[in-house]
Copies of this chain bind each other. A is one copy, B any other.
Amino acid sequence: MLEALKQQVFEQNMELPKRGLVTYTWGNVSGFDNETGYFVIKPSGIDYDVLKPEDMVVMDLEGNKIEGKYKPSSDTPTHIELYKAFKVGGVVHTHSPWATSWAQAGRSIPCYGTTHADYFYGPVPCARSLTAEEISEAYEKNTGLVIVETFKDLNPDYVQAVLCTNHGTFTWGKDADEAVHNAVVLEEVAKMACRTEMIRPDVKPAPDVIKEKHFMRKHGANAYYGQI
């Protein structure tokens, strides 16, 4: 079942090491199917070298395994919360090194320029730490709930990325491809933001007009970037 989606989710999982975003098995991609309400996700802890499309696991939003010989990614409960709250088509988790360094520092990534503004409308927020209770109770599920909490006053279609304190990144999008694309952009933006602060420790974020112009140039009703 869902063979095309499995193929797509497999290919996008393979993008992660190819783009330098993951070491070993430190990442996972899932994609949602609107018809069935199921999603397809990478199995837990399987090497990218031996991963095959048919290894992908089909899950429902209650966390039941619908199909697949392997256990799904241990981050599956986080993916579920993001699908439920954000109504997106793809979710990605990585420990990509630059973005994870911001997450370990517990800082949101300020918007320092148009590379950022082309994709993310405002800072990429850093979700708060989980409490000891939240960790022991249902760690991965609560990770998702704290991300959703972080977006209570933010539009998840306008900032399709988040940092989790002391942990790593989640990105999303209309499908697995866009979610992976956003993961690549996030890493690039995180790298340049760190270097920007090295070059000028007292740098200020880009003015809001940059954010408006660049995000809307690609995403607004009057978008004119690309062949649209």
> A residues within 8 Å of B by Cβ?
23-26, 43-46, 70-71, 74, 95, 97-98, 100-107, 112-115, 129, 132, 135-136, 139, 166-168, 181, 184-185, 188, 191-200, 203, 206-207, 209-210, 213, 217, 224-227
Contacts and interface: CB of A to CB of B under 8 A. Distances in A.
A23 B188 contact: yes
Contacts of A101: 192, 195-196, 198-199
Contacts of A217: 74, 139
Given A135-B213, A209-B135, A226-B45, A194 B197 contact: no
B210 A136 contact: no
Contacts of A168: 113-115
15 contacts: A24-B184, A26-B115, A45-B227, A70-B227, A95-B115, A97-B195, A103-B113, A104-B206, A105-B200, A112-B166, A113-B167, A113-B168, A135-B213, A136-B213, A194-B198
Contacts of A23: 184-185, 188
Contacts of A100: 113, 115, 192
Given A113-B166, A114-B166, A139-B213, 18 more contacts: A23-B188, A26-B115, A70-B227, A74-B224, A97-B191, A97-B192, A100-B113, A100-B115, A101-B199, A104-B203, A104-B206, A105-B112, A106-B200, A106-B203, A107-B200, A139-B217, A194-B195, A194-B199
Given A132-B209, A209-B132, A104 B185 contact: no
A225 B95 contact: no
Contacts of A192: 97, 100-101, 104
Contacts of A185: 23-24
B139 A107 contact: no
